[in-house]
Structure 1
Amino acid sequence: MKTPQTQTWTKYKKIIFRVSLIYFLIQALPLDWKYFRTVFSTNWLAPHFQDLFRLTTYMPSFISPVSLWGIESFINWFVILAIALIGSFIWGLADKKNKEYDKLYYWLRVLLRYRLAIAIIGYGVLKLFKLQLPEPALSDLQTSYGDYLPWKIYSLSTGIGSAFYEQSIGLVEIVAGLLLLFRKTATIGASIIIFVLTNVVIANFAYEIGEHVYSAYLLSIALFLLAYDLPRLYNVLVKRKFTKAASFKPVITESWLRNFRIILKSSVVLFFIFYGFKTYAGLADHWPFPKTAGLKDSYGFYNVSEYKVNNHEIPYSLTDSARWNNVVFEKWNTISIKKNCLANIDFSSPVVDYEADRNYESAGNAGRHFYTYQADTISNRIELFGKNTKGGKLDFHYSRPDNITIILSGKNVANDSLRIVLTKVDKKYLLNEGRRKPIKIN
């Protein structure tokens, strides 16, 4: 690789570059041992899309933050910056001869282009198939707005966006990531990503989504990449002056290096094609909702028309904290119950990771009590396992005298006998009916 004639850098430019090089190398290269633990623990014979996604979201974490919010959540950034400052100081003392670092600057941008492309395409594919922000479940449509955590409101409101809103964002992210793979279009790709990630970072802080550190990390890479061409863009677009092209252009003469570039780009593209197929398979897996099918023909909203405890009927009440008000049977093996008391809210943030109980539906929701269930259709038994409150288990015998009624008989955790009659309501939702279709609200 030949190095063309370049200009001498100023003292301060060299200092800033040394710090930036060390800082971004630590941020971008997989130096954290936990990353390799993930790589070697993955079943590569049958990987899930979550396995592949986790490979795209690397960010070093040498110290566990005391708090997930506030300045403390960026503790690892400060640690890495301190290392970069010390390393830059030592480097400056040892290197008095180099007048510029154009070659190193070029390869640093190459590394960051690929790092950012891998990260942004990873999220773009999730959005393209609506797995990151899925549409609301039926239980969500029966939950009061004020019973949600902010991140759940953002997730649900984005998931119902019309005109392929989420898919369009995903497609933009994928295209921008692909543009980063090529030097001539990298600035365009970085500019697009800055517009996208600025909104993402703001949303993370405003709605407490929990990915503010990672999204800000990606935004910092995009800004660094754009900074290289920013003075020229300013002269052309704002001052409308004649502007010279980039002063440093690599001249690659070695055949092995040219072949390596082709192999590297092809590997990234092939990885994401494979990742795309695996992510598409996640649709059939109903991710992030449970994949086990629910009780046949039970899906719907039910009023609790009768609620008896020890053969004593408790009438419908707006204050009784024990009585069930209504029940939702999802298409999968989950039911949610509305009571006159808030559920134990799951404060965990949304993550694309393995979840044995797939708690996305109950996370961030304090308005309904969620249960996963196992139904024995031979003996007509149904066991409920609490998702909001671990260890809460209810065992019922069920009967279905007609296609709109489910009768549950069993005992509660206090060993009191229960008889609960659920009556399905043919409830219409404007979200499903559409604004341009005639609808009558009863």
Structure 2
Amino acid sequence: MNTFPKINIWSISEKILFRFFFTYFTLFILFKNNGAYPFFGYISELFNKFLHNFIPWVGKNILGITYKIRVGPNGSGDTTYDYTLIFTIALIALLSTIVWSFLDKKTKSYSKMYYWLTLAVRCYVGLMLINYGMVKVIQLQFSAPSMSRLTQTYGDSSPMGLAWTFLGFSKGYNLFMGIAEVAAVLLLFRRTLTFGLIITLMTTANVMAVNYFYDVPVKILSTHLFLMCAFLIARNFKTLWEFFFLRTPIALTDIYKPILKKGISKAMLAFKVLLLGYVLGYGTYSTLESKEKYYGNSSKSILRGLYEVDEFKLNDTLISSSNKTKKWKYLMIDGKKYAKIKPIGKKSQWYKLTVDSTKNKLILKNYRDTLEIYNLKYTEGDSTNFYLKGTVKLDTISIKLKRTKDYKKKFLLTNRGFNWINEFPYNR
């Protein structure tokens, strides 16, 4: 591979674009690091307090946002705060570019600064995708369809919920996606950078498409990962075009690397090895630990199962299936802390679950209605029959249920399996 000469001359447009992207990507990596860099959270505490006051001010006084801008994390990466932050970063980058271009008219190129910027961007994209890839390889991000999903109709699911069910259904597809994302490790080495970018550009484009078209609230991050890959591969775009479409013999250009002292070069190499060891080693360990915590056997309730209501009595009166405001259809228990009740003709409702196995007691507390508390005593009959009896508010209830421990066998989606031979499409 060829390297850039130590001194080259950039065009005016190249210098202006570099000034903008240098400021924009630097601020984005600082303010929206998303855990890409290890231990960066400690650094972000230095400026987050300021941003949590400044960004809402920008939203109110510059963008004219009238409602309160929430600053705390809530699982979404596309909040009003996030978009206002991106607007602020873009505005600062634009003003910086104007001032920088006005003050700096003599510099012929920014080859050294370009190297350090690409190093920061390569590490950001690479480490971010390695983290995302690991949780897919171990199938933590997209878990297998739960009881709640399997008893939910397609029409009741959100676009994001449908995507999570589709992606989580297959362990093999999770592994495929995970390997494609972990391949971003190639971005961390200059010799494999271009090959890694070809893979990663397509991977981030697919992630971005899913986030956009299934309304997943990670649009900002996925868009920037794609843009960063496009920025990195742009220097070789013309060369790749000639190779793939014009059949022209080409030589890829490497990123010019400043000459560093021997001790500094060795220190950087050692740091890279330690960084990869930490990300891959500790990342794998922590992901496995998280999977066991949230989906392992230790997280399951002793009453785990899908309970289909056979008989439902309220105040000793048998409730028919036509009484949709009272009768349950399913009781779903999986983890130790939560349960879900699906009434007939109504949406499912989550409850806080408490089980006392020594007294055969089960308590369900409605998250929305604090007065709705089921105090129940459970009795197990034969292998399938299960009985609940107790009170809710001022009423007494008595329920007979059919318990299915291995609930996956009950649904076509999870018992169909893989078939090499299909004489006809099995599309249900």
Give the TM-score of the pair, scaled to structure 1. 0.78
Counterpart secondary structure, 2:410: coil
Given the superposition, is the C-alpha separation of residues 217 and 33 from structure 1 closer, same or farther in structure 2, using an over 3 Å criterion? closer
CA shift, 1:77, in A, is 2.3
Q: Cα deviation per residue 1:66-94 (whole Å; 9 max; x = unaligned)?
A: 69869996332221121112112222222
Given the superposition, is the C-alpha separation of residues 232 and 326 from structure 1 closer, same or farther in structure 2, using an over 3 Å criterion? same
Amino acid at match of 1:315: S
| Aligned match of 1:431 | 413
Mapped to 1, the partners of 2:345 and 2:305 lie a distance apart of 22
Question: 2:263 is matched with which residue: 245, 256, 264?
Answer: 256
Structure having the higher helix fraction is: 2
Contact 2:378 2:387 in 1 (8 A): yes
| Aligned match of 2:293 | 285
Counterpart secondary structure, 1:294: strand
Q: Does 1:386 align with 2:366?
A: yes
Mapped to 1, the partners of 2:333 and 2:225 lie a distance apart of 40
Mapped to 2, the partners of 1:10 and 1:230 lie a distance apart of 17
| Aligned match of 1:351 | none
Counterpart secondary structure, 1:155: helix
Give the TM-score of the pair, scaled to structure 2. 0.81
Question: 1:397 is matched with which residue: 377, 383, 391?
Answer: 377
Q: Say how many residue pairs are matched.
A: 388
| Aligned match of 2:73 | none
Question: 1:314 is matched with which residue: 302, 311, 319?
Answer: 319
| Aligned match of 1:230 | 237
CA shift, 1:108, in A, is 1.1
Contact 1:197 1:219 in 2 (8 A): yes
Q: Does 1:15 align with 2:7?
A: no
CA shift, 1:121, in A, is 0.5
Contact 1:19 1:85 in 2 (8 A): yes
CA shift, 1:20, in A, is 1.2
Q: Does 1:185 align with 2:169?
A: no
Question: 1:126 is matched with which residue: 106, 129, 135?
Answer: 135
Q: Cα deviation per residue 1:209-255 (whole Å; 9 max; x = unaligned)?
A: 11111111111111111111111111222222344542763363511
Contact 1:4 1:248 in 2 (8 A): no
CA shift, 1:258, in A, is 1.0
Counterpart secondary structure, 1:274: helix
Mapped to 2, the partners of 1:378 and 1:247 lie a distance apart of 68
Counterpart secondary structure, 2:332: strand
Given the superposition, is the C-alpha separation of residues 145 and 32 from structure 1 closer, same or farther in structure 2, using an over 3 Å criterion? closer
Amino acid at match of 2:292: A
Mapped to 2, the partners of 1:156 and 1:137 lie a distance apart of 9
Which structure has more RCO (C-alpha within 8 Å, separation ≥ 6)? 1
| Aligned match of 1:28 | 29
Mapped to 2, the partners of 1:38 and 1:379 lie a distance apart of 48
Mapped to 2, the partners of 1:324 and 1:133 lie a distance apart of 29
CA shift, 1:27, in A, is 1.2
Counterpart secondary structure, 1:286: helix
CA RMSD of aligned residues (A): 3.3
Q: Does 1:80 align with 2:89?
A: yes
Q: Does 1:172 align with 2:180?
A: yes
Unaligned runs of at least 5 residues, structure 1: 43-59, 344-367, 438-442
Q: Cα deviation per residue 1:376-404 (whole Å; 9 max; x = unaligned)?
A: 12222111123565664211122223332
Mapped to 1, the partners of 2:330 and 2:129 lie a distance apart of 42
Q: Does 1:63 align with 2:55?
A: yes
| Aligned match of 1:161 | 170
**Percent identity of equivalent pairs:** 24
Mapped to 1, the partners of 2:370 and 2:182 lie a distance apart of 39
Given the superposition, is the C-alpha separation of residues 242 and 71 from structure 1 closer, same or farther in structure 2, using an over 3 Å criterion? farther
Question: 2:391 is matched with which residue: 411, 414, 424?
Answer: 411
Given the superposition, is the C-alpha separation of residues 435 and 255 from structure 1 closer, same or farther in structure 2, using an over 3 Å criterion? closer
Q: Cα deviation per residue 1:36-55 (whole Å; 9 max; x = unaligned)?
A: 9983499xxxxxxxxxxxxx
CA shift, 1:30, in A, is 5.2
1:49-60 correspondence runs (5 A): none
Unaligned runs of at least 5 residues, structure 2: 45-50, 60-64, 70-75, 420-428
